[in-house]
Amino acid sequence: MILIAGPCVIESQEQLEIIATDLKKYHKSEQIDFYFKASFDKANRTSLDSYRGPGLEKGLEMLAKIKEDFGYKILTDVHESYQVPRVAEVADVIQIPAFLCRQTDLLVAAAKTKKIVNIKKGQFMHPEDMKYSVLKVLKTRGIETADYESSKKAGIWLTERGTTFGYRNLVVDMRSLVIMREFAPVIFDATHAVQMPGGAGGKSSGNKEFVAPLSRAAAAVGVDGFFFETHYDPTCALSDGPNMVTPSELEAIVEDIFKIKTVLEEKK
């Protein structure tokens, strides 16, 4: 099972190291393909006054230290094409943000690297239409058709975080996990799925009490992995605090996911 975990945004080297230490068990697990996630820049914050991160160079330097000290594979997002080659020097997975999932130049730039490309489904996208974003990456890599095995071999993932109707809420339609898995491995973004965009007056809010039940539901439907933004103290986090989970909360959720997976495997 793919597991992506880490803070929403880089706040400091100390913050990264504390969280990375709390996630060691997943890196060591033979059942988990673990990726440490943190953003060097949150370019789509609600307000101009919101914290964005340390920036490209400083952020990559900090992520590179985590990679060296802990041996973790790194996932981080890009917002502009010029960032991709530099990010590829550090990251093992290049993530395309949900709002940018149709940006051709960004997808093509990521495809030209040898890295895994994780495309987050836009909150405004029909799940079937994500096939065309996948094809932009596949065709750049010389593959003409989009199906699960081709995308898996080419290193392309899709991540679901729900759909917005413009009323400061996201709704997860579990059918989208099945639909998108026809043409790519699917990751369920459990913490962003409970986000309330703009719900806190110039910044986003969230309902983290739904992270665990939605995760269990996605595990029952069947996905290739999970995405959890994680912080030792979400109440003090500089981005996405209301929807992030603590390491202890994550541990309980992961245990439930594996219990569900075990039941499903026994029924095969």
CATH code of the domain covering residue 111:
3.20.20.70
Distance between start and end Cα atoms, the chain: 18
Length of the chain (residues): 268
In the prediction, which pLDDT does 197 show?
Answer: 73
* Number of domains the chain contains: 1
In the prediction, which pLDDT does 240 show?
Answer: 80
CA 126/CA 95 separation, integer angstroms: 19
- pTM of the predicted structure, to 2 decimals: 0.95
At 22, is the pLDDT very low, low, confident or very high (cuts 50, 70, 90)? very high
CA 247/CA 229 separation, integer angstroms: 10
Average pLDDT of span 96-109: 97
Can you say whether the dihedral through the CA atoms of 73, 75, 78, 81 is positive or negative?
positive
DSSP-derived secondary structure letter, 203: S
Percent of the chain having pLDDT more than 90? 85
Mean pLDDT of the chain: 94
Task: Examine the pLDDT at 203 and tell me if it is beyond 90.
Answer: no
Residue 234 · residue 191 · CB < 8 Å: no
Q: Report the amino acid identity of residue 104.
A: T
Task: Examine the pLDDT at 267 and tell me if it is beyond 70.
Answer: yes
Distances (CA, A) of 11 to 6, 15, 96, 249: 12, 6, 21, 21
Residue 255 CB neighbour total at 10 angstroms = 9
In the prediction, which pLDDT does 268 show?
Answer: 74
Average pLDDT of span 213-219: 98
Burial 215-254 (b: 16+ CB within 10 A, else e): bbbbbebebbbbbbbbbbebeebbbbbbbbbbbebbeebb
Range of the domain at 218: 2-267
Task: Examine the pLDDT at 15 and tell me if it is beyond 70.
Answer: yes
Average pLDDT of span 108-114: 97
In the prediction, which pLDDT does 46 show?
Answer: 74
Task: Examine the pLDDT at 199 and tell me if it is beyond 70.
Answer: no
In the prediction, which pLDDT does 202 show?
Answer: 63
